[in-house]
Amino acid sequence: MDVASINSNAEEFAIGCFLSIKTTFGDEFKGQVVAFDRPSNFLVLHILFGGGRKNVRILKANYIKELAFLGQGDDPVDLSKCCLDLSTLQAREELALRQAEAEAERIGVGVTAEAQNLFDALSKTLPVRWDKTVIVVMNEVRVNSPYVPESVSGGTPAANERVKKVLELERRRLHARGGP
């Protein structure tokens, strides 16, 4: 495999030390070592940004192309505070799943990006959903590909008109912006 051999020296991966890493895929980042698991050769890094938030990277050391030691720091992890509540985690996961699913519904499968943009724009003010590749507005009006005002059908004349109008405006706006 295209894995650069790396010196997984334990000393280099001492906890708390700052490293600058470049992966075989070209990712570069700096982080602080939080954990290193020799058997699996996985490195856990904290990438700190301002504001107290940090990114966590779990990287397989095999894929480190370049490594630079930046300095040694203290263990960033406060072990006394490290306690996990699984129920919270699960709840969080469920929440995330719900949100993701809701989001997934909004994304059409097999539709062009333009269509998706139009869908998103419509959804700002109208209730829309996907029906395969048809945008269904307010459960009555259908907009087929190619999603031009002419392809709007169904619904009451008023609703139809409204959808047409909104569609037109959105198209215009998207094109003005440069389009997808």
Partner 1 sequence: MNEVSECLKSFREWRLSNSKFAEITGLKFLLRMSVQQFAQPKSSANGYGRREVEREGGSRVDNKLHSGKSSIGKMANTHYSGGNKIGGFGGASRDRLVYFSTCLIGHHVEAQVKNGSVYTGIFHAANVDRDVGIVLKMARLTKDTSTQLQNTRADSLSKSFSKTLIVPAKELVQIVAKDVSVTRDEISNEYQSEKQEELLIDSYISRARPGDMERELKPWVPEDNDPHCPELENVFDDHWKRGWDQFEVNEALFGVKSTFNEELYTTKLERGPRMRQLELEASRIAKEIEREDTRDLHLAEERGTNLPESVDIDEETRFSSVYRGRVADDCGYEEEENILLDTRNGETFEDATSSVIGKVFSGITGGIDTGDSLLSSRSSMDVPQVSQSKDSADTLSIEMPDIHDRLLLPHLPTTLSQSDGEIRFQQTITDPQRANTDTGGGDQQKSVSHTKFSSVLKIEDSQSSSGEHDDFHNADGKGGPSSKVTSSTSSQASIRGRSKKNPPGDPLETQGGEKLSVESHGRPGSSVSSTSDRPGRASASAGTGLTPSSSVGSLSSEKSTLNPNAKEFKLNPNAKSFVPSQATVRPISPVGDSSFYFPANLSGIPQMHGMPVGVGLGPYVAHQPVIFNPQAAPVQSPQAYFPPAGPHYGQPMLIGHPRPYSYGPGFPPEMPYKGREF
Task: Single out the residue of 85, 157, 176, 177 in contact with partner 1 (rule: CB under 8 A).
Answer: 85
Residues 38-67 that bind partner 1 (CB under 8 A): 38-40, 42, 44, 53-60, 63
Does 178 bind partner 1 (CB under 8 A)? Our answer is: no
How many other C-beta atoms lie within 10 A of the C-beta of residue 172? 10
Using rule CB under 8 A, residue 81 touches partner 1: yes
What is the DSSP annotation of 110-165? T--HHHHHHHHHHHHHS-EEEETTEEEETTTEEE-TT-SGGGEE-S-HHHHHHHHH
Q: How far is CA 167 from CA 52, 133, 151, 173, in A?
A: 43, 16, 10, 10
Which helix H or strand E contains 90, and what residues bound it?
Answer: helix 86-106
Minimal distance, residue 10 CB to partner 1, in Å: 7
Q: How many residues belong to the site for partner 1 (CB under 8 A)?
A: 63
Residue 159 token pair:
């609703």
37 binds partner 1 (CB under 8 A): yes
177 scored as a contact of partner 1 (CB under 8 A):
no
Q: Is 1 in the site for partner 1 (CB under 8 A)?
A: yes
> Interface with partner 1 by CB under 8 A: which range of 33-41, 66-74, 134-142, 167-175?
33-41
Beta bridge partners of 69: 19
Give 122 or 155: the residue with its C-beta nearer to partner 1: 122
**125 touching partner 1, by CB under 8 A:** no
The answer to whether the bond into 127 is cis (omega within 30° of 0) is: no
Enumerate binding residues for partner 1 (CB under 8 A). 1, 10, 15, 23-25, 27, 34-40, 42, 44, 53-60, 63, 77-79, 81-101, 103-104, 106-113, 116, 120, 124, 180
